[in-house]
Structure 1
Amino acid sequence: MKEDPIRKLSVDDFVKIMGEEPQSEGLHVFIPKDFTQIRVTYPYRSSGYKLIYVAKGVLKFTINLITYTLEKNESIGIIPKSVIQILEISDDLRIISINFSTKFIFDNYFNKAGIDTFGYLTYNNVPKLQFKKQEGKILKMLAKMLKFYNQQENSIYKKELIRNTFGVIIYNYAEIFKRAYPDLKIELSRQEELTARFWNILQENVKIERTVQFYADALNVTTGHLSKILKEVTGKTASQLIESAVIVEARLLLVDPKLSVAQIAEELQFPDQSIFGKYFKKHVGLSPSAYRRGNRK
């Protein structure tokens, strides 16, 4: 296989080049105060997603050889494997760049509504968006909040704060996008389409089916092919994704004080409470009862 001549830059690589401290895995929020020098002059291939918003000044760059110019209150989303090259920046440039991985999306937004919302980030030629003044102010506020939460080390609810703040940003972005381009159809690759179909079937059957074979049969593919594609798209195999979905369901049920652990085990189709307890502890590190005590409201 011929080696790709375009240099690949992960989020971590870009963080180092920009001289910033790493934040959390799979997510980094850039809000540089000084961005007057182009530190990456060569074209590079991005390994993750980017949402770029210009708060002030002008940014000129190419995505897959197509030239874009972003000015104040304009934004664009960039998908993984896109080839990017920064061409020009104004002296007064102020940008916000939210960088996140596919794994981050599927770890936090694995329901149908979430996948539908991220649909606008599947276009190969992504159109730029014009934000209204108030929308720009809201994005800047939310991005600062997200960066703050993403830098915390000892926050009890760090994951929840990040997931919810990021969710508000992404739903706002989707709202603006669909308002500007109501007739633009989602373009999914075969791998992305299979992954989305898998998630939809998983959401319907997570409480009753935990075998990879069931989902492979439903999608008319082999178990090996399904796991290979899911691993490429999400970073996890089919069995790992099924386990993650089961644990999320279990956590949601354990928050409800009206349900006993035995009832939850039955709801999730485990043979008995003991087997459910061992399964939960293996993946969470706590017994269901201990997890419930720690999450009482």
Structure 2
Amino acid sequence: MQIIAADLDIPKYNIEPDPVTGNRIFRVIKADCRIIHMNVDFLRPHRKDYYFFALVRQGNSRHWIDMVPYTLKPDTLYFTVPHQIHLKEEAEPMVGTIIAFTEEFLTLDKSGSLKNMPIIQNPQNGHELSLSEDDIIFLEDIIGKITTEYQLRKNWQGGMLMAYMNVLIIYLSRLYNKQFVADDRLPGRMLLKKYLSKIEDNYTKMHEVIAYADALNISAGHLSDVVKEQSGRPAIAHIHERLMLEAKRLLFHTEKSSKEIAFELGFEDASYFNRFFKRLCGTTPAGYRIQSREMYH
């Protein structure tokens, strides 16, 4: 497996190329009571540089996404997006289907709508979707079609795969909205979604609500009111939450000092970062590192 970039101590991996075609932007992998990832690098913290869907029919292995542990459950859909940090506790077999695809694959969607779907944007940093019997029937059918098309490699395969992936991503996004967020089509929800997207792109550079309001061409007061109404939390809380998530990731998964993490997250003063972290977490960065690792082990 090729390391394509690294956040210093946290490597980032791309899709393993298809052994027959060499495809590096889209893969379908059937798992039938076998271990999918044999590379030991997956047993240490890492990021994937691609989107990852796994329809699990059987399996009970344990893994972590960011700082949250999950034990695989049958008939469940697991998904990740590129910025999340993965850690598998051990390599275990599973039964199901994995679909992996990159940003480059999404650019093949001429409408550009797939990139903005909830399951792709993942504003709630989710990972797991519960499935009803009807969901399983539908997903088995569409994923079966995707798998067949991927394996046959007929003419116009790219167009067929994109058409099927449109259906899959829209269906999963509906489930995502039911299980994680409200209707994103409402004006207030749309603004909240834009705000969260801006935070994701700029949280290491912009720490104030007014900066995001300027980027969205609205007043800070209006942005604050809408965000509070739609999310139940102040606008500044979302910025702080994203900073804290990344800080915790780096404290948990790397040996970077508090000063290094502070500068990486855009804090000019390391002592201010320490106070900021303690105010929101109740302990210092060093204290969190010790406590979280003790809990893990």
TM-score (norm 2): 0.54
In 2: Cα distance, 1:75 partner to 1:64 partner: 18
> Among 27, 49, 52, which residue is 1:50 paired with?
52
Q: Secondary structure at the match of 2:89?
A: strand
> Among 190, 197, 209, which residue is 1:188 paired with?
197
> Among 8, 14, 24, which residue is 1:10 paired with?
14
In 2: Cα distance, 1:22 partner to 1:60 partner: 32
Q: Find the counterpart in structure 2 of residue 134 from structure 1.
A: 134
CA displacement 1:256-296 (0-9 Å, x = unmatched): xxxxxxxxxxxxxxxxxxxxxxxxxxxxxxxxxxxxxxxxx
Q: Find the counterpart in structure 2 of residue 107 from structure 1.
A: 108
User: Which amino acid letter does the alignment assign opposite residue 79 of structure 1?
Assistant: V
Percentage of identical aligned residues: 13
CA displacement 1:43-87 (0-9 Å, x = unmatched): 222011111221112232111232122301212221113221122
In 2: Cα distance, 1:126 partner to 1:50 partner: 12
State how 1:119-130 maps to structure 2 within 5 Å.
121-123=121-123, 125-130=125-130
User: Which amino acid letter does the alignment assign opposite residue 47 of structure 2?
Assistant: R
State how 1:187-226 maps to structure 2 within 5 Å.
187-189=196-198
In 1: Cα distance, 2:123 partner to 2:34 partner: 28
User: Is 1:97 matched with 2:101?
Assistant: no
Change (3 A) 1:135 1:190: same
Q: Find the counterpart in structure 2 of residue 77 from structure 1.
A: 79
Change (3 A) 1:167 1:23: farther
In 1: Cα distance, 2:182 partner to 2:65 partner: 23
Question: Contact between 1:120 and 1:177, CA under 8 Å: does it hold in 2?
Answer: no
State how 1:142-157 maps to structure 2 within 5 Å.
142-153=142-153, 155-157=154-156
Larger radius of gyration: 1
In 2: Cα distance, 1:137 partner to 1:22 partner: 30
Q: Find the counterpart in structure 2 of residue 59 from structure 1.
A: 61
Offset at residue 104 of structure 1 (A)? 1.1
In 1: Cα distance, 2:75 partner to 2:118 partner: 21
Question: Contact between 1:61 and 1:67, CA under 8 Å: does it hold in 2?
Answer: yes
Q: Secondary structure at the match of 1:107?
A: coil
User: Which amino acid letter does the alignment assign opposite residue 97 of structure 2?
Assistant: I
In 2: Cα distance, 1:7 partner to 1:74 partner: 27
* CA RMSD after TM alignment: 3.2
User: Which amino acid letter does the alignment assign opposite residue 134 of structure 1?
Assistant: D
Question: Contact between 1:29 and 1:143, CA under 8 Å: does it hold in 2?
Answer: no
Offset at residue 3 of structure 1 (A)? 6.0
User: Is 1:27 matched with 2:48?
Assistant: no
Give ranges in structure 2 of 5+ residues lacking alignment: 1-5, 184-191, 203-215, 218-297
In 2: Cα distance, 1:37 partner to 1:176 partner: 26
CA displacement 1:123-154 (0-9 Å, x = unmatched): 3621521011221132123223212222344x
CA displacement 1:229-254 (0-9 Å, x = unmatched): xxxxxxxxxxxxxxxxxxxxxxxxxx
Offset at residue 166 of structure 1 (A)? 0.9
In 2: Cα distance, 1:3 partner to 1:172 partner: 33
In 1: Cα distance, 2:103 partner to 2:12 partner: 16
CA displacement 1:168-197 (0-9 Å, x = unmatched): 11111111111223438643145769xxxx
Q: Secondary structure at the match of 1:140?
A: helix
Change (3 A) 1:5 1:74: same
